[in-house]
Structure 1
Amino acid sequence: MYRLSAKQSFPISRQLAWDFLSNPANLSVITPPEMGFNILSGADRPMFAGQIIQYKVSPFPGFSTRWVTEITHVNKGSYFVDEQRFGPYALWHHKHFINEVPGGVEMEDIIDYKLPLGILGKMAHPLLVKKQLISIFSYREEQLSSRFGSLPDSKRTFKIEQI
Structure 2
Amino acid sequence: MPRIEIRTEIKADIQLVFDLSRSIDLHKISTEHTNETAVAGITSGLIGMNESVTWRARHFGVYQTLTSRISDFNHPIFFADEMVSGAFRSFRHEHHFIDSSGVTIMTDIFDYRSPMGILGVLADNLFLKKYMTKLLVERNRIVKEFAESDRGRELLTGKTPNFSNYKRY
Q: Structure 2 unaligned segments of length 5 or more: list them.
A: 149-169
Paired amino acid for 1:127: L
Q: Structure 1 unaligned segments of length 5 or more: list them.
A: 150-163
Matched residue SS, 1:28: helix
Query: What CA distance in whole angstroms lies between the structure 1 residues aligned with 2:143 and 2:65?
Result: 25
Shift of 1:125: 1.0
2:56 is aligned with 1:52: no
Shift of 1:20: 1.1
Identity score, percent: 22
Paired amino acid for 1:28: K
Residue matched to 1:20: 20
Matched-pair contact (CA < 8 Å) for 1:25–1:39: no
Seen in structure 2, the aligned counterparts of structure 1 residues 49 and 143 have a Cα distance that, compared at 3 Å, is closer
TM-score, normalised via structure 1 length? 0.82
Residue matched to 1:92: 91
Matched-pair contact (CA < 8 Å) for 2:9–2:105: yes
Query: What CA distance in whole angstroms lies between the structure 1 residues aligned with 2:140 and 2:52?
Result: 25
Shift of 1:64: 1.1
- 1:151-162 alignment, distance < 5 Å: none
Shift of 1:143: 2.1
Matched-pair contact (CA < 8 Å) for 1:49–1:74: yes
**Structure (1/2) with the larger helix percentage:** 2
Query: What CA distance in whole angstroms lies between the structure 2 residues aligned with 1:109 and 1:147?
Result: 17
Q: Deviations over 1:14-37 (max 9, x none)?
A: 111122112222211222x33121
Shift of 1:45: 5.7
Query: What CA distance in whole angstroms lies between the structure 2 residues aligned with 1:114 and 1:68?
Result: 15
Paired amino acid for 2:22: S
Shift of 1:139: 1.8
Matched residue SS, 1:39: strand
**Structure (1/2) with the larger strand percentage:** 1
Matched-pair contact (CA < 8 Å) for 1:72–1:83: yes
Matched residue SS, 1:50: coil
Paired amino acid for 2:47: M
Seen in structure 2, the aligned counterparts of structure 1 residues 100 and 138 have a Cα distance that, compared at 3 Å, is same
2:39 is aligned with 1:2: no
TM-score, normalised via structure 2 length? 0.80
Matched-pair contact (CA < 8 Å) for 1:95–1:111: yes
Matched residue SS, 1:77: coil
Seen in structure 2, the aligned counterparts of structure 1 residues 67 and 148 have a Cα distance that, compared at 3 Å, is same
